[in-house]
Structures are given as C-alpha cells and as structure tokens.
Amino acid sequence: MGLDMYLTGRRFIGEYLDKELSDKLNEATKDITKGRVCNEIIIEAMYWRKANAIHQWFVKNVQDGIDDCLEHKVSITDLKRLLETVTEVLDKKVAPADALPSQTGFFFGSSEYNEWYFEDLKYTKESLTKLLEELCEETDQFDIISDWHFSYRSSW
C-alpha cells in the first residue's frame, strides 16, 4: 500500500485526425470489434510512488484543495507551472518547504527533504520536460495542444 499517483493522457483517434493510426488500430482490433475503432488512446504519461510533495502540489493547484482520489483535469499550463516550480526548487531559487512542501499521510512516505524527495523532483522535471517537448514537436505550437487531454489521479 502507499500513495500511487498517475498523470494520464487521452487522445481521441478518428479518421479525420489521424487516418494512418486509425487504420492501424482498426486492423489490429478487427477480431474483437464489430466496427471501426473510434474511441481514444489512453496513456500513462507519468507515474509516481509516494512523491507526496508532488501530490500536494496537484491537490492545491488542480483539485481545489480537496484530496479525494478522483480524476482531475490537468491543463498544459498546469504542467508548465509544475515544471517551473520543480525547477526552481532544484535550482535552489526557492526553499523546498515553501514551494513544494512535503505532506504526511497514510502510507505517503517520508516527509523529510532528503535524497528521495529530490529524486522525485528530478524524475518529475525530466519526465515533464520530455512530455512537453514531444507535444511541442507534434503540434509545432507549445501553447495549443488540442488533441491531448491530461488528468491526475491518486490512490492509497
């Protein structure tokens, strides 16, 4: 048991958005579907375990302060703000306890600002940077990413 955290990406797949991918999905699923695939792809964009400071950031900035283990929409702007906050802490521009305070909770892991805390931040920075760069390449527009939608959910 413990705090598990998921950033999920969803993208609608239809012939008018991505004909090649739609055709591949239809071919791959023809034995189990009666028609075309016209749903969405769901990816696990990021996963954390017991990164309670990151969880607290989502609760405060995305979930209106309510820690409810439900799925919450996360905008690209939210992801950029999280990346900026993590980077500021790693670059020692702000104190960890001020910008990304740890949180205690049932099986939430350590609340110390130790190597595990900073490893979670490094992972978050690397993963978010890569995710945002890939989305930028895909759309050629860093601020407008219309066909991917993200959400955050935790469980413990």
Q: What is the predicted pLDDT for the residue at 46?
A: 97
The residue to which tokens 């004909």 are assigned: 19
Q: Is residue 125 part of a domain?
A: yes
Query: Cα–chain-centroid distance for residue 152?
Result: 6
CA distance 53 to 51: 6
pLDDT in tens, 63-111: 999 999 999 999 999 999 999 999 999 999 999 999 999 988 778 889 9
Identify the residue with better confidence: 23 or 130.
130
Number of domains in the chain: 1
Q: Is residue 142 part of a domain?
A: yes
Contact indicator for 73, 151 with CB cutoff of 8 Å: yes
Lowest mean pLDDT among 42-56, 85-99, 112-126, 132-146: 132-146
Q: Whose CA is closest to 76, among 91, 62, 97?
A: 62
Residue 139, pLDDT > 60, answer no
pLDDT in tens, 30-51: 788 776 666 678 899 999 999 9
Q: Which domain holds residue 70?
A: 4-147
DSSP helix/strand/coil, 123 = helix
CA distance 34 to 58: 40
